[in-house]
A and B are shown apart, each in its own frame.
Chain A
Amino acid sequence: AQTVTQSQPEMSVQEAETVTLSCTYDTSENNYYLFWYKQPPSRQMILVIRQEAYKQQNATENRFSVNFQKAAKSFSLKISDSQLGDTAMYFCAFMKPFSGGGADGLTFGKGTHLIIQP
């Protein structure tokens, strides 16, 4: 079974600063997908960024980028020029390719509560 660990329960930074959220995972799979989801107080789950394990290039979406280290099983999220609207819970998640072996879906970490201070 896969596990996802987020070691920072809460982080707080000033607006416009850069912040990095950590995520490590454990799997025996060679091909898989990694995700960062944002959950604001509205409760909606919003996909921030996605990485495919077979791609060495780190994914980037505007102010959001990842540092994917496959050998170290590490997948950190960097938010540049942080904004007040970035305040939310952030979840790291793992998904393996479909295999028909049961329990097919996302495995989530426990989340990091990110607070952007004005």
Chain B
Amino acid sequence: NAGVTQTPKFQVLKTGQSMTLQCAQDMNHEYMSWYRQDPGMGLRLIHYSVGAGITDQGEVPNGYNVSRSTTEDFPLRLLSAAPSQTSVYFCASSYSRIAGGEKLFFGSGTQLSVL
């Protein structure tokens, strides 16, 4: 059972480049979410989805786009990367937030550097 899989694990971008961070889960979880972790900070919620076709903003959504076309996948897009987006990104899922589902399963993270 793979759980929550994030790719890539590391990425270096130049300012203005675009890229997509991938997140996939094989647990049939309805809820998926993205967090960023900056030095000296806890994780902060970027975007989340309570089911396929439904997404909403978290605490720090600016500069990021998401979509949820399938239950399994929840990609995070940076359309024009900025140095302020240098961070470690985590994807997390749970079976259903609407039905409780407070226990989140985390991926192993993607370390992104924007030069």
Chain A interface residues (CB < 8 Å from chain B): 4, 33, 42-45, 47, 50, 91, 93, 95, 97-98, 102-111
Contact = CB atoms under 8 A, between A and B. Distances in A.
10 contacts: A43-B88, A44-B109, A95-B102, A103-B56, A104-B56, A105-B104, A106-B43, A107-B45, A107-B59, A108-B43
B5 interface: no
Contact of B45 (A43, A45, A91, A106): A106
Given A98-B97, A104-B56, A104-B97, 10 more contacts: A42-B108, A44-B109, A97-B100, A102-B56, A103-B58, A105-B35, A106-B45, A108-B42, A110-B42, A111-B41
Given A95-B102, A102-B56, A102-B57, A108 B50 contact: no
Contacts, number: 64
Interface in B37-54: 40-45, 48, 50
Interface residues of B, number: 28
A100 to B, nearest CB: 8
| Nearest 3 A/B pairs, CB to CB | A108-B42, A45-B106, A105-B45
B42 A45 contact: no
Nearest to B60: A103
